[in-house]
């Protein structure tokens, strides 16, 4: 029988890389079963190396992956996750618990969100159901999002008031993640289900580097704009990725977490737009931001026009991102984080403690991370490993 392991999806993604790194470093006796979209064990390791090199050097990576990780070559959107019967049986037998991180953040495509966030989650839940029926499952942790709250304005939202089925959703991402939470509770009634809802995840409080640039690009564009269609006292609930990863692992590994759902957020301590811009200027940004909330309508129209410009002009991509994220930037809503602060014993680092370094890194690198290739001479993982 395979050694007991935590089944983790989405490890090659941004938040998933933080979850895996925290598990590997802080829980040295824990084994991981990782679902990786690849055609071979060697390709799977290369994809993992690309994801985890933000956090560790190659020698540490290879030691962790070769000694403590079982790699399952599959795809979230395929029946049975695309696993062969023997691999499926081994995975179900080895499952101690599940941390389901994988998701599509494509807020524009109904098709992609439904395929990944609904069909994919359903396949993972079927594995959870099989493991629970066969030998018991310690816990199922679902990484959701505060976006499941639906359309809001000027609120402080607690976990118990987050899901409101009478509210409209901003986009397909929010809609499918809300229903994924619902499926987990409905299909795993006899399993310990914990839900984690990160707010705007932006950068790392410990260093300026990042590999996730969608929201960072929106942040840089707005920072450079100077004239902002916001009110200066609106709050932006921004949380660093290192806090999110630490919180997920801490609660998942705890014997008896106190709550069923956690907002991974900055809550009422979130900074206002004026506090953020004042900090950026204190760090040396030229000019001075002016807040003109009445320009919001004109700003939306200009975004729409920029989205229709030729790709070669370099405007359409940033405009599309801004169009997607704008509702989350103007709803002036934050998410109470008292539960996670109680569990961890600490609050997330405020954005003004690390935001300027993130801004500089993104601009200097033109929104790219300098990935290091698989080292020459390093032995690839054997196919049968």
Answer whether residue 81 is part of any domain: yes
- Indicate the pTM of the whole model: 0.95
Q: Closest Cα partner for 211 from 100, 51, 373, 364?
A: 51
Residue 168 reports pLDDT greater than 80: yes
Domain-embedded: residue 74: yes
Condensed to tens digits (0 to 9), the pLDDT of residues 103-117 reads: 988 777 789 999 999
Inside any domain, residue 310? no
Enclosing domain of residue 94: 5-198
Per residue in 215-273, pLDDT tens? 999 899 889 988 999 999 999 999 999 999 999 999 999 999 999 999 999 999 999 99
Q: How many domains does the chain have?
A: 1
* 81 DSSP assignment: G
Q: At 34, which CATH number?
A: 3.40.50.720
Query: Across the chain, what does the average pLDDT equal?
Result: 93
- 258: region left, alpha or beta (phi > 0 left; psi from -120 to 50 alpha): alpha
- DSSP string for 252-265: HHSSS-S-SEEEES
Average pLDDT over residues 74-91: 97
| Residue 277 within a domain | no
- Residue 273 domain flag: no
Q: Which of 238, 265, 234 is nearest to 330 (CA)?
A: 234
């Amino acid at each position: 029988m395979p050694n007991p392991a935590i089944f983790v999806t989405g490890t090659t993604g941004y938040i998933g890389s933080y979850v895996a790194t925290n598990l590997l470093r802080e829980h040295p006796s824990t084994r991981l079963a990782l679902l990786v979209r690849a055609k071979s064990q060697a390709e799977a390791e290369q994809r993992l190396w690309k994801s985890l090199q933000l956090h560790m050097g190659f020698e540490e990576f290879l030691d962790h992956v070769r000694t403590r990780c079982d790699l399952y070559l599959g795809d979230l959107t395929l029946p049975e996750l695309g696993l062969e019967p023997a691999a499926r049986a081994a995975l179900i037998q080895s499952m101690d618990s599940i941390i389901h991180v994988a998701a599509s953040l494509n807020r524009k495509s109904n098709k992609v969100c439904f395929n990944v966030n609904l069909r994919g989650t359903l396949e993972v839940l079927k594995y959870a159901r099989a493991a629970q029926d066969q030998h018991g499952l310690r816990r199922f942790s679902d990484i959701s999002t505060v976006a499941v709250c639906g359309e809001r304005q000027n609120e402080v939202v607690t976990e118990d008031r987050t899901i409101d089925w009478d509210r409209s959703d901003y986009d397909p991402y929010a809609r499918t993640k809300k229903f994924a939470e619902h499926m987990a509770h409905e299909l795993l009634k006899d399993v310990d289900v914990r839900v984690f809802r990160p707010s705007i995840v932006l950068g790392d409080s410990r260093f300026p580097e990042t590999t996730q640039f969608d929201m960072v690009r929106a942040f840089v564009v707005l920072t450079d704009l100077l004239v902002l269609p916001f009110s200066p006292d609106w709050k932006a609930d921004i949380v660093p990725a290192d806090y999110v990863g630490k919180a997920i692992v801490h609660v998942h590994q705890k014997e008896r977490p106190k709550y069923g759902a956690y907002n991974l957020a900055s809550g009422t301590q979130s900074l206002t737009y004026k506090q953020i811009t004042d900090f950026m200027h204190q760090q040396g940004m030229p000019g001075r931001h002016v807040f003109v909330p009445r320009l919001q309508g004109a700003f939306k129209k200009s975004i729409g026009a920029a989205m229709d410009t030729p790709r070669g002009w370099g405007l359409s991509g940033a405009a599309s991102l801004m169009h997607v994220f704008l509702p989350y930037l103007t709803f002036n809503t934050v998410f109470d984080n008292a539960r996670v602060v109680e569990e961890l014993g600490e609050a997330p680092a405020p954005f003004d403690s690390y935001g300027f370094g993130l801004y500089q890194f993104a601009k200097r690198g033109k929104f790219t991370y300098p990935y290091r290739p698989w080292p020459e001479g390093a032995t690839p993982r054997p196919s049968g490993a």
